[in-house]
Chains A and B, each alone.
Chain A
Amino acid sequence: MLNQVIFLVFGMISLALLLNLWRLLIGPSLPDRILALDTMFINSIALIILYGLLMGSPLYFEAALLIAMLGFVSTVAVCKFLLRGDIIE
Protein backbone atom coordinates (compact mmCIF):
# COMPACT_ATOMS: atom_id res chain seq x y z
CA MET A 1 0.00 0.00 0.00
CA LEU A 2 2.68 2.45 1.03
CA ASN A 3 4.57 2.11 -2.24
CA GLN A 4 1.52 3.04 -4.28
CA VAL A 5 1.08 6.08 -2.08
CA ILE A 6 4.73 7.01 -2.48
CA PHE A 7 4.46 6.75 -6.24
CA LEU A 8 1.27 8.78 -6.19
CA VAL A 9 3.03 11.52 -4.22
CA PHE A 10 5.98 11.23 -6.59
CA GLY A 11 3.55 11.98 -9.37
CA MET A 12 2.11 14.97 -7.53
CA ILE A 13 5.54 16.46 -6.90
CA SER A 14 6.72 15.83 -10.43
CA LEU A 15 3.60 17.57 -11.64
CA ALA A 16 4.30 20.45 -9.26
CA LEU A 17 7.85 20.69 -10.59
CA LEU A 18 6.59 20.72 -14.15
CA LEU A 19 4.17 23.53 -13.23
CA ASN A 20 7.06 25.47 -11.69
CA LEU A 21 9.11 24.94 -14.81
CA TRP A 22 6.18 26.20 -16.86
CA ARG A 23 6.05 29.39 -14.79
CA LEU A 24 9.80 29.66 -15.11
CA LEU A 25 9.51 29.46 -18.87
CA ILE A 26 6.65 31.89 -19.39
CA GLY A 27 7.77 34.40 -16.78
CA PRO A 28 6.67 37.05 -17.58
CA SER A 29 8.68 39.16 -15.15
CA LEU A 30 12.05 38.19 -13.75
CA PRO A 31 10.74 37.98 -10.16
CA ASP A 32 8.17 35.46 -11.39
CA ARG A 33 10.92 33.30 -12.76
CA ILE A 34 13.01 33.58 -9.62
CA LEU A 35 10.01 32.66 -7.49
CA ALA A 36 9.40 29.68 -9.73
CA LEU A 37 13.04 28.58 -9.42
CA ASP A 38 12.94 28.96 -5.64
CA THR A 39 9.81 26.85 -5.53
CA MET A 40 11.47 24.25 -7.70
CA PHE A 41 14.33 24.05 -5.24
CA ILE A 42 11.95 23.48 -2.35
CA ASN A 43 9.86 20.94 -4.24
CA SER A 44 12.95 19.04 -5.23
CA ILE A 45 13.67 18.68 -1.51
CA ALA A 46 10.41 16.80 -1.29
CA LEU A 47 11.42 14.74 -4.28
CA ILE A 48 14.71 13.75 -2.69
CA ILE A 49 13.09 12.88 0.61
CA LEU A 50 10.73 10.63 -1.29
CA TYR A 51 13.67 8.96 -3.00
CA GLY A 52 15.04 8.36 0.45
CA LEU A 53 11.76 6.75 1.42
CA LEU A 54 11.65 4.69 -1.72
CA MET A 55 15.18 3.37 -1.27
CA GLY A 56 14.65 3.11 2.46
CA SER A 57 18.01 4.72 3.07
CA PRO A 58 18.72 7.95 4.96
CA LEU A 59 21.77 8.67 2.78
CA TYR A 60 19.93 11.29 0.77
CA PHE A 61 18.90 13.38 3.73
CA GLU A 62 21.95 15.64 3.49
CA ALA A 63 21.17 16.46 -0.10
CA ALA A 64 17.77 17.70 0.99
CA LEU A 65 19.29 19.57 3.90
CA LEU A 66 21.80 21.22 1.61
CA ILE A 67 19.13 22.40 -0.79
CA ALA A 68 17.13 23.79 2.09
CA MET A 69 20.19 25.68 3.31
CA LEU A 70 21.90 26.80 0.13
CA GLY A 71 19.08 27.02 -2.37
CA PHE A 72 17.91 29.97 -0.36
CA VAL A 73 21.28 31.67 -0.73
CA SER A 74 21.25 31.48 -4.50
CA THR A 75 17.72 32.86 -4.55
CA VAL A 76 18.87 35.69 -2.32
CA ALA A 77 21.78 36.35 -4.66
CA VAL A 78 19.50 36.60 -7.66
CA CYS A 79 17.06 38.83 -5.76
CA LYS A 80 19.89 41.07 -4.66
CA PHE A 81 21.04 41.26 -8.24
CA LEU A 82 17.55 42.31 -9.20
CA LEU A 83 17.36 44.93 -6.48
CA ARG A 84 20.84 46.38 -6.66
CA GLY A 85 22.72 44.76 -9.55
CA ASP A 86 25.67 44.69 -7.23
CA ILE A 87 25.33 41.66 -5.00
CA ILE A 88 28.21 42.42 -2.64
CA GLU A 89 28.72 46.08 -1.86
Chain B
Amino acid sequence: MESLLAGCIGFLTACGVFLLLRGRTFPVVVGLTMLAYAVNLFLFSSGRLTLQGAAVLGTTEHYADPLPQALVLTAIVIGFAMTAYLVILAIRARADLGNDHVDGKLPGNQMSRKESR
Protein backbone atom coordinates (compact mmCIF):
# COMPACT_ATOMS: atom_id res chain seq x y z
CA MET B 1 0.00 0.00 0.00
CA GLU B 2 2.78 2.39 0.93
CA SER B 3 4.43 1.98 -2.45
CA LEU B 4 1.11 2.61 -4.14
CA LEU B 5 0.49 5.81 -2.21
CA ALA B 6 4.06 6.98 -2.70
CA GLY B 7 3.66 6.42 -6.39
CA CYS B 8 0.45 8.46 -6.41
CA ILE B 9 2.14 11.25 -4.49
CA GLY B 10 5.04 11.29 -6.91
CA PHE B 11 2.73 11.28 -9.90
CA LEU B 12 0.53 14.06 -8.52
CA THR B 13 3.65 16.10 -7.83
CA ALA B 14 4.88 15.57 -11.36
CA CYS B 15 1.54 16.57 -12.87
CA GLY B 16 1.36 19.61 -10.62
CA VAL B 17 4.87 20.67 -11.54
CA PHE B 18 4.20 20.23 -15.23
CA LEU B 19 1.09 22.42 -15.07
CA LEU B 20 2.96 24.89 -12.89
CA LEU B 21 5.39 25.39 -15.75
CA ARG B 22 2.67 26.37 -18.26
CA GLY B 23 2.54 29.89 -19.57
CA ARG B 24 -1.00 30.91 -18.66
CA THR B 25 -2.34 31.75 -15.23
CA PHE B 26 -5.18 29.25 -15.16
CA PRO B 27 -3.12 26.10 -15.78
CA VAL B 28 -0.70 27.40 -13.16
CA VAL B 29 -3.55 27.67 -10.67
CA VAL B 30 -4.66 24.14 -11.49
CA GLY B 31 -1.07 22.97 -11.19
CA LEU B 32 -0.67 24.53 -7.77
CA THR B 33 -3.93 22.92 -6.64
CA MET B 34 -2.65 19.57 -7.84
CA LEU B 35 0.67 20.19 -6.10
CA ALA B 36 -1.26 21.02 -2.94
CA TYR B 37 -2.96 17.61 -3.09
CA ALA B 38 0.43 15.97 -3.39
CA VAL B 39 1.82 18.02 -0.53
CA ASN B 40 -1.12 17.20 1.72
CA LEU B 41 -0.87 13.49 1.03
CA PHE B 42 2.88 13.65 1.58
CA LEU B 43 2.58 15.46 4.88
CA PHE B 44 -0.21 13.09 5.89
CA SER B 45 1.85 10.05 5.00
CA SER B 46 4.70 11.28 7.20
CA GLY B 47 2.56 9.98 10.09
CA ARG B 48 2.62 6.50 8.46
CA LEU B 49 -0.49 4.73 7.19
CA THR B 50 -3.03 3.22 9.52
CA LEU B 51 -6.22 1.37 8.66
CA GLN B 52 -9.24 1.49 10.95
CA GLY B 53 -7.46 3.75 13.40
CA ALA B 54 -9.22 7.11 13.34
CA ALA B 55 -7.78 9.17 16.16
CA VAL B 56 -11.03 9.35 18.07
CA LEU B 57 -10.50 8.03 21.55
CA GLY B 58 -12.42 4.87 22.38
CA THR B 59 -13.22 3.86 18.80
CA THR B 60 -10.24 1.58 18.23
CA GLU B 61 -7.20 0.17 20.01
CA HIS B 62 -4.39 1.45 17.76
CA TYR B 63 -4.73 5.04 16.60
CA ALA B 64 -3.41 6.77 13.54
CA ASP B 65 -0.92 9.57 14.21
CA PRO B 66 -3.20 12.58 14.78
CA LEU B 67 -0.54 15.28 14.48
CA PRO B 68 0.07 15.12 10.73
CA GLN B 69 -3.68 15.14 10.25
CA ALA B 70 -3.94 18.38 12.17
CA LEU B 71 -1.03 19.83 10.20
CA VAL B 72 -2.59 18.82 6.90
CA LEU B 73 -5.87 20.39 7.97
CA THR B 74 -4.10 23.69 8.56
CA ALA B 75 -2.24 23.27 5.30
CA ILE B 76 -5.47 22.65 3.39
CA VAL B 77 -7.06 25.79 4.76
CA ILE B 78 -4.02 27.95 4.06
CA GLY B 79 -3.70 26.40 0.63
CA PHE B 80 -7.30 27.30 -0.11
CA ALA B 81 -6.76 30.90 0.95
CA MET B 82 -3.66 31.17 -1.21
CA THR B 83 -5.28 29.58 -4.25
CA ALA B 84 -8.24 31.89 -3.91
CA TYR B 85 -5.96 34.90 -3.84
CA LEU B 86 -4.00 33.71 -6.84
CA VAL B 87 -7.18 33.10 -8.83
CA ILE B 88 -8.45 36.60 -8.21
CA LEU B 89 -5.01 37.97 -8.97
CA ALA B 90 -5.14 36.12 -12.27
CA ILE B 91 -8.44 37.84 -13.06
CA ARG B 92 -6.98 41.18 -12.08
CA ALA B 93 -3.92 40.56 -14.23
CA ARG B 94 -6.07 39.61 -17.18
CA ALA B 95 -8.08 42.78 -16.73
CA ASP B 96 -5.05 45.04 -16.19
CA LEU B 97 -2.66 43.58 -18.73
CA GLY B 98 -5.08 42.42 -21.40
CA ASN B 99 -3.89 38.81 -21.46
CA ASP B 100 -3.61 35.90 -19.06
CA HIS B 101 0.06 35.10 -19.56
CA VAL B 102 2.01 34.76 -16.33
CA ASP B 103 4.52 37.35 -17.51
CA GLY B 104 1.77 39.80 -18.37
CA LYS B 105 2.92 39.91 -21.99
CA LEU B 106 2.56 37.36 -24.73
CA PRO B 107 5.87 35.93 -25.96
CA GLY B 108 7.17 37.53 -29.15
CA ASN B 109 5.79 35.09 -31.71
CA GLN B 110 2.31 35.48 -30.19
CA MET B 111 2.28 39.26 -30.17
CA SER B 112 0.66 39.32 -33.58
CA ARG B 113 -2.52 37.44 -32.69
CA LYS B 114 -3.23 39.04 -29.36
CA GLU B 115 -6.21 37.42 -27.66
CA SER B 116 -9.46 39.32 -28.03
CA ARG B 117 -11.38 40.35 -24.95
Are A and B in direct contact (Cβ within 8 Å)?
A: yes
A residues engaging B (CB < 8 A)? 55, 57, 59
Q: Does B59 interact with chain A (Cβ within 8 Å)? A: yes
In chain B, positions 53-87 with a C-beta closer than 8 Å to chain A are: 54, 56, 59-60
We find that the number of chain B residues with CB closer than 8 angstroms to chain A is 6
A85 CB to nearest B CB, Å: 14
B residues apposed to A, CB below 8 Å: 51-52, 54, 56, 59-60
CB of A47, distance to nearest CB on chain B (Å)? 15
B45 → chain A closest CB, angstroms: 19
Q: Is the CB of B56 within 8 A of A55?
A: no
Q: Find out whether the CB atom of A59 lies under 8 angstroms from the CB atom of B52.
A: no
Q: How far is the CB of B43 from chain A (nearest CB, A)?
A: 20
Minimum CB distance partner of B60 in chain A: A57
Q: Tell me the smallest distance from the CB of B105 to a CB of chain A, in Å.
A: 27
The residues of B that contact A57 with a CB separation of less than 8 Å are: 52, 54, 59-60
Q: List 5 A-B contacts (CB under 8 A).
A: A55-B51, A57-B52, A57-B54, A57-B59, A59-B54
User: In the docked arrangement, what's the CA distance between A59 and B60, Å?
Assistant: 11
Contacts of A59 in B (CB 8 A): 54, 56, 59
Nearest to B59 among chain A residues (CB) is A57
